[in-house]
């Protein structure tokens, strides 16, 4: 009998949907201390993640064959060990596209329209406007890592009559963009952009992709938004670029070190918006989309079509 271990909190309706999708399986719901270690050893399918997956379910003799991640980013998982054990990993790519894209655009508006500065001034009753304000309308946005989230950002940007540059590893077409550049042309995109939205996953190729030289080619009036992965940016170089006025500001949801230390200089910068890695947070709709993805993949897995699972991670590419 197949054992399914659901570590994420599901509604009663969602739990029933899982039961109906796998009527012959043994299903355990809940991430609780009292969940017995034996459940991790017996689980063939795990929805979600916690430390006991690595310490128990990935050890010799365990029955794990497939993990459905609750997150789009999987760089924190033990990918080498998962690959070594021959375990399939599917991520939640695309599930958080709406919420992450809304955060990115909110940061773009908050910075360009002076809202971030106004919120800071509100605390002290300071009636002051930034020296310059910008408009998104008619501007150019470069979306670096133009997958599902990037497509959503592009769709919203088009509503602001923006020119959209998509930067993709494949260089393949994206209908929502005006032009697509391969990653080899990243610097060209940065030179043209009024807003740079980084949505890249963390891989060997993308680590510290944004560094001093990259910020140097950006417009001094441009804004840098990071809703991808923190380590794709060399933080000290970003801080220096902001201090020297090499770029106009930044909106950051992700960081090399999380939580961001309380004494980090980014906290005090007036031209920076910081959010605590919650752009892809578990909204009700995100939860619904995740369960829908899991159920779709579960049907494929149980019917013998595991190779067709959606969002199957390529361990060589690390995404």
Of 52, 98, 229, 234, which one is the catalytic site residue? 229
In 135-254, beta strands by DSSP E: 140-144, 163-168, 179-182, 195-198, 223-226, 249-252
168 has catalytic annotation:
no
Of 258, 285, 299, 305, which one is the catalytic site residue? 258
**Quick one: DSSP state of residue 278?**
-
Report the distance separating Cα 316 and Cα 235, nearest Å: 26
CB environment 77-86: b (16+ within 10 A), e (fewer): bebeebeeee
Report the distance separating Cα 269 and Cα 261, nearest Å: 14
Beta strands 45-47 and 26-29, pairing class? unpaired
305 has catalytic annotation:
no
214 has catalytic annotation:
no
3-state secondary structure of 82: helix
Report the candidate in 262, 190, 271 with the shortest Cα–Cα distance to residue 233. Answer: 190
Q: Are 222 and 195 in contact (CB under 8 A)?
A: yes
Q: Which two tokens mark 38?
A: 């034996």
Of 151, 168, 214, 277, which one is the catalytic site residue? 277
Which residues carry out catalysis?
A: 229, 258, 277
């Amino acid at each position: 009998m197949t054992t399914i271990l659901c570590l994420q909190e599901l509604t009663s309706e969602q739990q029933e949907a899982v039961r109906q999708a796998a009527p012959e399986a043994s299903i355990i719901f809940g991430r609780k201390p009292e969940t017995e270690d034996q459940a991790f050893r017996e689980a063939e399918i795990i929805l979600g993640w916690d430390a006991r997956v690595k310490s128990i379910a990935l050890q010799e003799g365990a029955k794990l064959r497939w993990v459905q991640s609750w997150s789009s980013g999987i760089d924190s998982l033990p990918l080498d060990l998962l690959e070594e054990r021959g375990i399939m990993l599917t991520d939640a790519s695309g599930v958080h596209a709406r919420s992450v894209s809304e955060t990115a655009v909110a940061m773009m508006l908050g910075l360009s329209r002076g809202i971030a500065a106004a919120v800071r001034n509100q605390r002290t009753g300071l009636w002051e406007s930034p020296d310059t304000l910008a408009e998104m309308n008619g501007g150019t946005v470069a979306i670096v890592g133009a997958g599902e989230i990037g497509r959503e950002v592009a769709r919203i940007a088009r509503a602001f009559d923006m020119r959209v540059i998509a930067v993709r590893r494949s260089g393949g077409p994206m209908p929502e963009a005006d032009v697509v550049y391969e990653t080899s042309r990243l610097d060209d995109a940065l030179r043209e952009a009024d807003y740079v939205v980084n949505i890249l996953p963390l891989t060997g190729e993308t680590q510290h992709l944004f560094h001093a030289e990259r910020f140097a080619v950006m417009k001094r009036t441009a804004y840098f938004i990071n809703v991808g992965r923190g380590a794709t940016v060399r933080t000290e170089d970003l801080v220096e670029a902001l201090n020297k006025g090499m770029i106009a500001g930044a909106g950051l949801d992700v960081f090399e070190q999380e939580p961001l230390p309380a004494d980090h200089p980014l906290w005090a910068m007036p031209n920076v918006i910081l959010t605590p890695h919650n752009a892809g947070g578990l909204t009700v709709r995100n939860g619904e989309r995740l369960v829908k993805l899991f159920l779709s993949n579960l049907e494929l897995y149980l019917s013998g079509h595991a190779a067709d699972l959606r969002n199957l991670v390529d361990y060589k590419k690390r995404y």
